[in-house]
Structure 1
Amino acid sequence: MLHTLGLWQKPQWRYLPLAFDLLIQPLFYLYTLSLTQTNYRVKEKDWLHFWPMLLFLCHAIWVYTLSLQTNDIMLKDQLAEGLYYNRIKKFEDILSVLSGIIYWVLSFSRIQAYKHWLNTNISNASYPTYSWLRNVLIAMGVLVTFLMINIPLEIFFNFGARHFIQWQFFYFYLAVLVYYLGFTGYQQKDFEVAFQTEKRSAMTLNTEQISTVKEKLLKAINEDKVFLDAELNLNALARQIGVGEGVLSAIINEEFYQNFRNFINEKRVEEVKRKLLSQEYKHLSILGIALESGFNSEASFYRVFKGITGQSPKDFLQKNNSQNPF
């Protein structure tokens, strides 16, 4: 950064300790954990993520403090070389690439695991899917790729001042991502997320048992209309039917070719469509019908309805009213 800003040639700025390259990756990973885990608190072991950055920062402060005594740039460079500044800086750059790859994979895996848990356990359409965070991760993957290509090239080849332009673009791109992440993250609502990554046992039922569970499931859906409960989750439905979560999830996947979230929300949409066309519910607004059908927010209802039917509730209503004017 000092090079790109033209400060490297000024004695008081030369070797200024800015060893924060290893800070961004673990911070982003811990932020991802905080979004997908209720009441997340940084644990004592989490501070281990920052030890590499602290070690490099201590060395950078040491070099800067000792070299600050002279304004002669050549003497500064000789002193820094004697303190292995360039060698350690190259090692830090290599470690930054490895750290970027590792934490990117960890963060991406966490988001994917959360989305899988969400689809197989939670029917509440208001739960955040963090698609925006996944998009940020993809954008950060571009940065990691940039580092993977450019840092080795800089280590083995001397490009002189020509490479500063690409680093200016890098820091501008990074700044935009950080501001976007902060702005979007600030707007997110707090949710009680009971996300867990335990493994479930595979389904070991015979055909007759599967048929029995399927029959109980359809009864709970069609007669008891359990989907009207906006907070319905896989655990509650499994307990009502009398089977394990893993078994119920597998049956929904294999017998209905859907995950739990889509299965329940599809039933809610069918209920909304039925009520929209019924004279009994003419006194209710579209949102009122949605809230009575298991949805608990306007935004999530419109998103799910259009995602399943391919049209908005108003378009559906107008189309069916025009076909059945009387």
Structure 2
Amino acid sequence: MEKVFTTIILVTTVQALIYTGIFIAVKNNRSLKLLGLFMFVYIGTNLQWIFKDNVKYLPTTFSYLVVPLFYLYIRSILGIARKRDLWHLVPAAVEFLGLLPMLLSPGLGDAFYHSGKYNTFIIIFLVYIPPVYNLLYTGLSLLALKKCRKSISLLYTDVEKQRLNWLYVTCIIFATLYGLNLITSTALLTTSLDSYIYLYESVASAFIVYWTSVYGLNQKNLMLGDSRTETDNTAETGKVYVQGEAPPGESYEQKHREIIAFFEKTKIYTNKEISLFMVADLLQMPYKEVSKSINLVARKNFNQFVNEFRVKEAKELIKSDRLDQFTLTALAEEGGFNSRSTFFFSVQIY
């Protein structure tokens, strides 16, 4: 069992360090730099274990930093990060500065951990509170993702929703890891059960590092910060109505005609990466104007508007002589859909 632990820890640590460098090296991308820092922090305890015989009291536990840093990454990619969010890092800074003197003077570490005078402090602040603290931030991360789902539908297509799924999975794994950590801290477990829990924690940690490495590079930054106020009055159907807004005037109807003409001419809806910001940039029109024109005249959000064009495209292909060339999956992709399930659902609506 020990060889398994050793192998998993070493492989996980090497991969995390490689991608830490890759993510941080990317220019003009704060989200990836945060993710790179998260990768390094996440394997902090691995570094302690690897260098335990050479460096005493290496202050890389980061008990109060792992999930808060991931939470800041989520806020960054959603476009809702603010400078004041840095206060979330204060407890981690206090922990690091408190442990740093022990690295510089190991005698202080011996007195702190082995004298018995500080046992209560150690149990409360270094054993019991960290898993609860990280579980709290796991909940905040899930809440941030949930709150922004409607905004994503108004500005992007279903592809971007699906791209966020890896963040949900990671948060769920965090919840199980820190839940088990809390159990092992408070319960007396048999050696056998304890070993299996540590094995699960090692495998889950390796999975998070691999998962983050694969999906982190492909995750797009979303710009939801300025759009949150526009979605406060979103109905359950996903249609947007601006409170106190009069029926769409001639200017919005004209803009709506321009948007439709642009879609029909360029067939931009077949691009799976399409977003409200992309359309607005190509039309040289403020994205809020594009959004309002679609909302007020078509009475649809951006995702619904795009999918309606995609369904029409698929229907035209079905009527054409090229039908025999396509499977259902290929037909969906030709129309711009990311999956057959989204295609079938949209066909039923439109």
TM-score range normalised by the length of the shorter chain: 0.5 to 0.7
The 5 Å alignment of 1:1-326 reads: 19-33=61-75, 36=78, 48=90, 50-58=92-100, 61=103, 65=107, 79-82=114-117, 84-123=118-157, 125=159, 129-146=163-180, 151=185, 154=186, 162=189, 167-188=194-215, 189-190=217-218, 192-198=220-226, 199-201=228-230, 203-204=242-243, 208-209=247-248, 217=256, 220-221=259-260, 224-225=263-264, 228-229=267-268, 230=271, 232-235=274-277, 236=279, 244=289, 247-248=292-293, 251=296, 255-256=299-300, 259-279=301-321, 281=322, 293-294=335-336, 300-302=338-340, 304-309=342-347
Shift of 1:145: 4.0
Query: What CA distance in whole angstroms lies between the structure 1 residues aligned with 2:109 and 2:158?
Result: 59
Query: What CA distance in whole angstroms lies between the structure 1 residues aligned with 2:182 and 2:113?
Result: 29
Check 1:291–1:277 CA distance in 2 against 1; reply closer, same or farther (3 A cut).
Answer: same
Q: What percentage of residue pairs aligned between the two structures are identical? A: 17
SS state at 2:116 partner:
helix
Using structure 1 for the length normalisation, give the TM-score.
0.59
- What amino acid sits opposite 2:315 in the alignment? K
Query: What CA distance in whole angstroms lies between the structure 1 residues aligned with 2:112 and 2:95?
Result: 23
Q: Is the contact made by 2:113 and 2:119 (CA closer than 8 Å) also made in structure 1?
A: no
Deviation readout 1:234-254 (Å, 9 max, x if unpaired): 35469769974664575489x
Check 1:211–1:232 CA distance in 2 against 1; reply closer, same or farther (3 A cut).
Answer: farther
Shift of 1:197: 1.8
Query: What CA distance in whole angstroms lies between the structure 2 residues aligned with 1:122 and 1:78?
Result: 52
SS state at 1:209 partner:
coil
Query: What CA distance in whole angstroms lies between the structure 1 residues aligned with 2:183 and 2:249?
Result: 53
Shift of 1:95: 2.9
More helix as a share of residues: 2
Query: What CA distance in whole angstroms lies between the structure 1 residues aligned with 2:168 and 2:146?
Result: 9
Structure 2: 5+ residue stretches without partners: 6-52, 80-84, 234-241
- What amino acid sits opposite 2:152 in the alignment? L
SS state at 2:63 partner:
coil
Cα RMSD of the aligned pairs, angstroms, is 4.8
Query: What CA distance in whole angstroms lies between the structure 1 residues aligned with 2:172 and 2:311?
Result: 32
Q: Which has the higher contact order (CA 8 A, sep 6+)?
A: 1
Query: What CA distance in whole angstroms lies between the structure 1 residues aligned with 2:304 and 2:109?
Result: 63
Query: What CA distance in whole angstroms lies between the structure 2 residues aligned with 1:61 and 1:241?
Result: 54
Give the total of aligned pairs. Answer: 271
Q: Is the contact made by 2:152 and 2:160 (CA closer than 8 Å) also made in structure 1?
A: no
SS state at 2:229 partner:
coil
SS state at 2:189 partner:
helix
- What amino acid sits opposite 1:225 in the alignment? E
Using structure 2 for the length normalisation, give the TM-score.
0.56
Structure 1: 5+ residue stretches without partners: 6-11, 38-42, 69-75, 311-326
